[in-house]
Amino acid sequence: MNGILPLYKERGMTSNDCVFKCRKIFKTKRVGHSGTLDPNVDGVLPICVGKATKVVNYLMDSGKVYIGEITLGFATTTEDLEGKIVAEQKLTKKFSVEEIDEAMRALTGELIQIPPMYSAIKVNGRRLYEYARAGEEVERPRRKVSVAYFKQTNSSEFDNERGQQKIYFEVGCGKGTYVRTLAADLGKKLGVPAVMSDLTRLSSGGFTIGQAVKLDDLKEEATKGGLEKQLFPIDHALKKFPHHTLTEVQWGIVKNGGFLIPKYLHDEKRPTIVLMYKNQAKALYCFNQEKERYQPEQMIDLTEGEI
């Protein structure tokens, strides 16, 4: 079986746990996910099965949407509720809607983020969380991320006794954005410590949470022989690219990794195109301007396919 599964990852599981369970359900080792979700976060986790693992990176490039909650008044080592408290400041008054909106607007567009120490980013061959658990300090790489929008979804709540304020938000962002870092940075904009206190991923890879399937439901489909109908075609990950349907002669060239000349592709000179044959995505080709030809970027499926 080959295709993409919009999985609903429940809380308490790692993304790798989901991959392991899907390998058992689909009875194949060729399973991968397109974007880690922390154990305490639920929501859409696209899973690639079989030959679809070759398009994981293209799924990861798509935008993501989250909803969640930010608590002002304290900060933690992990920037969420899993870590130890490292800073506290009792709020004496509630931040206004306008103050929060202004701080959120300042955190949109192209941003530079410093990822949390408790993250899976590698530095010198080790993941940051490994350094953190060992109590070692290491310089974290600065990363450019994109935030399309960051907005409040409901009225915030102020706890006068605790001196804390809860903000309810939605964010649309690009690949590599740490939402918990965004929450901590919002606190910095407002001049107080902050933490991401709840998070759900609403969409990823072009899938919405309404399309996502739970593992228990997937297991039930496996007993009915209905697994394949839960998968979306590989081409779902490639919708943003222009497509070209290959002739028999062109397919003979492509399946051997050969080059294609633009004049045989209706003079297209797009940076990347998806090559289709018998209604299936077979390869991605990129345009080499210097040599005026299309050449392989990613081979997906070299079998004949079905009409």
What residue spans define the domains of the chain?
3-62+205-236, 64-202, 241-299
CA dist 256 and 253 (Å) reads: 6
Three-class DSSP category at 30: coil
Amino acid 141: pLDDT:
80
Nearest residue to 34 (alpha-carbon basis) of 20, 21, 44: 44
Helix ranges, the chain (H)? 15-26, 56-60, 97-105, 128-133, 179-190, 215-224, 248-254
How far lies 16's CA from each of 27, 37, 45, 178, in Å?
16, 9, 11, 18
pTM for the model stands at 0.90
Three-class DSSP category at 48: strand
The token duo for 116 is 């949390």
Nearest residue to 205 (alpha-carbon basis) of 32, 13, 17: 32
Question: Considering the domain 3-62+205-236 in this protein, what is its CATH number?
Answer: 3.30.2350.10
What fold, for 64-202? Answer: Pseudouridine synthase (3.30.2350)
Longest dimension (CA), the chain: 75
Amino acid 267: pLDDT:
64
Amino acid 305: pLDDT:
59
Amino acid 263: pLDDT:
82
Q: Which residue has the tokens 């304290």?
A: 74
**Residue 277 β-bridge partners:** 280
Nearest residue to 34 (alpha-carbon basis) of 78, 68, 10, 64: 64
CB 7, CB 45: distance < 8 Å: yes
Quick count: other Cβ atoms within 10 Å of Cβ 235? Answer: 19
Q: Do the domains at 3-62+205-236 and 241-299 have one common CATH topology?
A: no
Distance of CA 218 to the CA centre of its chain: 21
Nearest residue to 260 (alpha-carbon basis) of 283, 237, 235, 234: 283
Quick count: other Cβ atoms within 10 Å of Cβ 260? Answer: 21
Report, as residue numbers or ranges, the catalytic residues.
38
How far lies 66's CA from each of 114, 117, 218, 306, in Å?
20, 22, 24, 38
Kindly state the DSSP code that residue 35 receives in the 8-state scheme: S
CB 71, CB 165: distance < 8 Å: yes
The token duo for 268 is 């297209």
Question: Considering the domain 241-299 in this protein, what is its CATH number?
Answer: 2.30.130.10
CA dist 270 and 282 (Å) reads: 17
Reading the chain (307 residues) residue by residue, the pLDDT tens digits are: 899 999 999 999 999 999 999 999 999 999 999 888 989 999 999 999 999 999 998 988 888 999 999 999 999 999 999 999 999 999 999 999 999 999 999 999 999 988 777 777 787 788 878 887 888 778 878 889 999 999 999 999 999 999 999 999 999 999 889 999 999 999 999 999 999 999 999 999 999 999 999 999 999 999 998 899 999 999 999 999 999 999 999 999 999 999 998 887 776 778 999 999 999 999 999 999 899 999 999 999 888 655 3
